[in-house]
Structure 1
Amino acid sequence: MRSDVGPGRQRARRALDRLAAEAQERLRDLETQARDIAEARRDSNVDDEHDPEGSTIAFDHAQTAALARDAAQRLAEIDAARERVDDGTYGLCASCGRPIGAGRLEARPTALLCVDCQRLAS
């Protein structure tokens, strides 16, 4: 089943394009931060693993890496949603085929499932 939402498809595509740009910027920032942390680790002779003061470089690196993975996953979800817009299936539940509510899509533009199917999947 295809979604024939015309102007709604265009609106969804623009919203997803904005989200993608934000996610790409976030990912670039995190990659820069990871490089800075790696340089700090390389240039430092401090044994930060045993320093009782504050966070460690290793913790900062792990946290930044986790945030970067989350940003990359978000970008992948957005890309998949943009593909659904392009093929006309955006806004249709991947499980039951019924329309996903406008409120859910507004809150979670990358939603694959309607509220009922998401509840069953959780």
Structure 2
Amino acid sequence: MSDRHRVLSASEQATIRELLDADRQRTTARVAILGRDREEIVTSSALTASDDEHDPEGTSTAFERAHVQALLDQALSHLAELDLAFERLRDGSYGSCARCGQRIAFERLMILPATKTCVSCASGRR
């Protein structure tokens, strides 16, 4: 089998599955924490003046809410990437670059298990 179409070995697949599982658990916990943080900000801002323009704390409350929401959106996006990585692992396409089709170095997959591009494509060299 050519390097381009090389399938991960059983031990490599097991390692990747463990990394994806651990990352998914961390990210799921982060989503829960950020969701609670967002709800606390919304609840506390509902109990205070809603006139951000004249409320000296209003701007920081709006900023905090936007910041937590952005972090939550990133975490949810990462969860979706992890789910896609699990799907690629199941269907046998995991480890192949989504852009060029070349094999992604196992070392890169160990560091970024949800990645779908090789170093060359990720850096724009291809």
What TM-score comes out, normalization by structure 2 length? 0.84
CA deviation after TM superposition for structure 1 residue 4, in Å: 3.8
**After TM superposition, what 4+ stretches of structure 1 lie above 4 angstroms from structure 2?**
46-49, 51-55
Supply the AA of the counterpart residue of 1:34: R
Given candidates 57, 73, 83, the residue that maps to 2:87 is 83
Q: Distance in 1 between matches of 2:56 and 2:39?
A: 24
Segments of 5+ residues of structure 1 without an aligned counterpart are none
CA distance in 2, matches of 1:9, 1:119: 25
Query: 1:24 corresponds to which residue?
Result: 28
In structure 2, the partner of 1:110 is 114
* Deviation readout 1:1-33 (Å, 9 max, x if unpaired): 462421111110111011011101100100000
1:1-122 pair list within 5 angstroms: 1=5, 3-45=7-49, 47-52=51-56, 56-120=60-124
Distance in 2, matches of 1:33 and 1:121, equals 40
For structure 2, which runs of at least 5 residues remain unmatched after alignment?
Answer: none
Distance change in 2, residues 1:19/1:8 (3 Å): same
* CA distance in 2 between partners of 1:40 and 1:53 (Å): 12
* TM-score, L = length of structure 1: 0.87
